Amino acid sequence: MEFLKNHYEKIVLSVVLLLMATAAVLLALQVRSVEEELGAFRQVIVETGGQAVDRPKTNPYTAILTQAQPPLVDLLQPHKVFNPERWLMDTNRNLISGKDVGVAKLQLLEVQPMQLKLELLVSGSAERQSYLVNITREYALKTTDQRPTKRSVTVNSTNYLDAPSKLRYIVARAIEGPPDNPTVTLDYQEPGKELQKITLTKDKPFTAVVEYGVKMFYPVEKIAFPNPLRKDVVWERKDSPLVFAGDTNIIVEITVSNVIVKAVSNDKTTTIPLSGSLPATGSARP
């Protein structure tokens, strides 16, 4: 017993070495066995003229596995997992699909060109004629500002059409012809454009489209733009805010055939065509 206590480390080491030697012998035998199996396989290939041994037919099993495979999940197509349906409630407590609300349902009912009209008026006696320009600003925002106004015309005098703004004006440069039926030559300056030469006679007025006005309707909430209760505004213009469906859309452009609006919430632009076609939606900020 005393011998084991003094030499147990050597005994354990001896046992471990013995086990390792045994494992090495077994591994060598295993390698030889595998080499023999591989040699027999090579011999079979050589004896069959280089042709590989026929593999077992797995087609039936492969077909069954293919048929049993479920289809892949397509996350790009519309679905209800990651793109749940949005439902809202109208004023009558009826459920409305999210596809039936918003800017996609905004309608463009009418587009109206807003013109500037200049007409030459001749007044006074035969000995002393006076000349006036009748100015009609259909493009003015308020109906009270759209009423015709008369301005006197003298050579080199400037008439500002949108006073107090001085961006749009006319300047008479020449008055020629018979006193009772003259031809007036004017410089017409439109904001952001080149100076334009125009002529006026009593039977030849000047007209120019300055911008466009629109009438729109949101049927979900039955909101008309502009509000029919506002007698001072008959048409919505560029930069007008349209408040509906819990968001505000700004009119950013108007043409003869469509309106482009931009949502304040995400800067998404949408083109609303005339005649109730489906709107085209643009990009949005992230």
Cα maximum dimension of the chain: 154
- Residue listed under structure tokens 């045994």: 22
The CA distance from 182 to 281, in Å, is 53
CB atoms within 10 A of CB 233: 15
In a 3-state reduction of DSSP, which class is residue 90? coil
Query: Do 141 and 148 contact (CB within 8 A), yes or no?
Result: no
In this prediction, residue 233 carries a pLDDT of 87
CB atoms within 10 A of CB 155: 11
User: pLDDT tens-digit profile of 93-106?
Assistant: 777 776 778 898 99
Mean pLDDT of 139-150: 91
Query: What DSSP element (H or E) covers 47?
Result: helix 2-47
The CA distance from 187 to 204, in Å, is 16
In this prediction, residue 5 carries a pLDDT of 64
Beta strands, E only, the chain: 87-89, 95-97, 107-124, 129-137, 149-152, 158-160, 169-176, 183-189, 196-200, 206-218, 223-225, 241-244, 247-254, 258-263, 269-273, 280-281
pLDDT-derived band of residue 83, with 50, 70 and 90 as boundaries? low
In this prediction, residue 215 carries a pLDDT of 94
Burial of 81 (0-12, 13-18, 19+ CB in 10 A): exposed
pLDDT-derived band of residue 276, with 50, 70 and 90 as boundaries? low
User: pLDDT tens-digit profile of 121-136?
Assistant: 998 776 788 899 999 9
In this prediction, residue 118 carries a pLDDT of 97
User: pLDDT tens-digit profile of 33-54?
Assistant: 777 777 766 665 555 555 565 6
Burial of 285 (0-12, 13-18, 19+ CB in 10 A): exposed
Write the Ramachandran bin of 7: left for phi over 0, alpha for psi from -120 to 50, otherwise beta: alpha
**Residue 183 CA: distances (Å) to CA of 120, 149, 173:** 9, 20, 11
pLDDT-derived band of residue 16, with 50, 70 and 90 as boundaries? confident
Mean pLDDT of 22-32: 83
Mean pLDDT of 113-121: 96
Q: Assess whether pLDDT exceeds 60 at residue 283.
A: no
User: pLDDT tens-digit profile of 220-235?
Assistant: 888 999 998 888 889 9
Q: Assess whether pLDDT exceeds 90 at residue 147.
A: yes
What are the residue ranges spanned by the domains of the chain? Answer: 2-68, 90-109+212-281, 116-206
CB atoms within 10 A of CB 274: 16
